[in-house]
Amino acid sequence: MSGKRVLVVDDDVKTVELVELYLNRDGYKVLKAHDGIEALRLAREGHPDLIVLDLMLPGMDGLEVCRTLRQESDVPVIMLTARTTDEDKLAGLGMGADDYVTKPFSPRELAARVRTVLRRLPGERGPEEVKRGKLTLDFMRLEASLDGRRLDLTPVEFKLLGVLAREPGRVFSRAQLVEKALGYDFEGFDRTIDVHILNLRRKVETDPTHPSYIKTAYGAGYKFSEV
């Protein structure tokens, strides 16, 4: 994992320096920005492997930065937010963020989140490629395609889809999906997975309101269609 580049974006200089200290200990090279405009420039020019992004930024807020990035890249994004309502957190996830950490936060915990998000399908076993109908998942390249057209999935979306598609028909609870797709005991809530599923359906399903692949098991969780 050493040598990966992490862009840390926060308007508080001391916060950035503290996060940099912990990430440096893990061997990451840290790029730093203190406003949204600079964050976009460094994301485009520095090609980071992951971005730690504060929501409240001068120039352009974190949600707009994330929205813009998602039109250009699938780089993993961890949101930092002082907002604690479900709606605020879901807004970040809905824009394509892979995770969020609530302020005030432990820099040690944030460093652990960075390691986890960057870990590609940890401990997964199975074929390097899975085909389900017109959907193909390439676990070597971490790419998914539908009828030959590449899908623009975030790393978390790919992991989540991979967990479901490997075992069609099996019902996964939200807690199981959090553990398997995110890789740790996520400090979140059930609706986190619901947002990722909603985003996945928009990208994978012909009609997201009547999904063919990702089915809801009411009162239990989600499953991948056996058909």
Per-residue pLDDT of 151-179, as tens digits, reads 998 888 898 999 999 889 999 988 888 87
Under 8 Å between Cβ of 9 and 52: yes
C-alpha distances in angstroms, 224 versus 16, 118, 135, 153, 183?
Answer: 41, 25, 12, 17, 20
Would you state the pLDDT for residue 128? 80
Asked if residues 49 and 41 have their Cβ atoms less than 8 Å apart, the reply is: no
The three-state (H, E, C) secondary structure of 37-66, written as one string? HHHHHHHHHHCCCEEEEECCCCCCCHHHHH
- So what's the pLDDT on residue 78? 92
From the CA atom positions of the chain, what is the Rg in Å? Answer: 17
Assign residue 7 a region (left: φ > 0; alpha: ψ between -120 and 50; beta: otherwise): beta
**Residue 18, SS3 per DSSP:** helix
List C-alpha distances in Å: 161 to 1, 166, 177.
Answer: 24, 8, 10
Domains and CATH numbers, the chain: 5-118 (3.40.50.2300), 129-224 (1.10.10.10)
> Residue 140's pLDDT is what?
81
What residues contact residue 219 under an 8 Å CB cut-off, 6+ apart? none
Q: Please, how many CA atoms are within 13 Å of residue 39, restricted to the half-sphere of its CB?
A: 31
Question: Quick one: DSSP state of residue 168?
Answer: T
Give pLDDT < 70 ranges for the chain: 1-2, 83-86, 88-89, 120-127, 182-190, 227
pLDDT of residue 121: 39
Beta bridge partners of residue 7, listed in sequence order: 31, 51
Nearest by Cα to 81 from 55, 62, 110: 55
CA 19 – CA 124 distance, rounded (Å): 29
For residue 58, how many other CB atoms are within 10 A of its CB? Answer: 11
- Measured in residues, the chain has a length of 227
Cα(164)–Cα(124) distance, integer angstroms:
12
* Overall pTM surpassing 0.85 (yes/no): no
What integer pLDDT is reported at residue 126 of this predicted model?
A: 52
